[in-house]
Structure 1
Amino acid sequence: DSEHSQATFTAGRFGIVGSTNGTNFSEHATSGSAATLNFQVAPTAMPPGTTTYALYSVTTLNPSVAGTVNLRAAEANSAGLGQHLTYGVRTITGTTCNASTFAAGAEVVPTGRALTTSATGNQIVQANNGNQVNYCFAVTLPQTAPSTAQGLSVTARWEFVAQST
Structure 2
Amino acid sequence: MKHDDGPGSSGPSAHPARRRLRAVLAGGLVLGVGAAVTLAAWNDSEFAIGSFAAGQFDLVGSTDGTSFTDHATADTAAPLGFTVNPTNLAPGDVVFAPFAVALEEAATYAAAVTVSAGPVAGSLSGVTYELLRTSTFGCTADTTGTSLVPAGTALGTVSADTTFDLAEPAGGLAPVNLCFKVTAGAITQGADGSAVWEFAAVSQS
One-letter amino acid matched to 1:32: D
Could you report, residue by residue, the CA deviation over 1:66-98 in whole angstroms, capped at 9, with x for unpaired residues? 111111111235x402x1100010100111211
- 2:66 maps to 23
Q: Which has the higher contact order (CA 8 A, sep 6+)?
A: 1
Which one of 52, 57, 65 corresponds to residue 14 of structure 1?
57
Inter-partner Cα distance in structure 2 for 1:98 and 1:47: 18
Say how many residue pairs are matched. 157
**Identity, % of aligned positions:** 38
| Matching residue within 63, 66, 88 for 2:110 | 66
- Give unpaired runs (5+ residues) of structure 1: none
Q: Is this contact kept in 2: 1:63–1:127, CA < 8 A?
A: no
TM-score, normalization: structure 2?
0.72
Q: How does 1:1-165 map to 2 (within 5 A)?
A: 1-64=44-107, 65-76=109-120, 79-81=122-124, 83-101=125-143, 104-119=144-159, 120-128=161-169, 129-142=172-185, 145=186, 149-165=188-204
Q: Cα offset for 1:2?
A: 2.1
Give CA deviations for 1:100-134 in whole Å, capped at 9, x if unaligned: 22xx2001101101112225231111123551111
In the TM superposition, structure 1's runs of 4+ consecutive aligned residues that sit over 3 Å from their partners are none
Q: Return the index of the structure with the highest Cα Rg.
A: 2
- The separation in 2 between residues aligned to 1:61 and 1:130, in whole angstroms, is 7
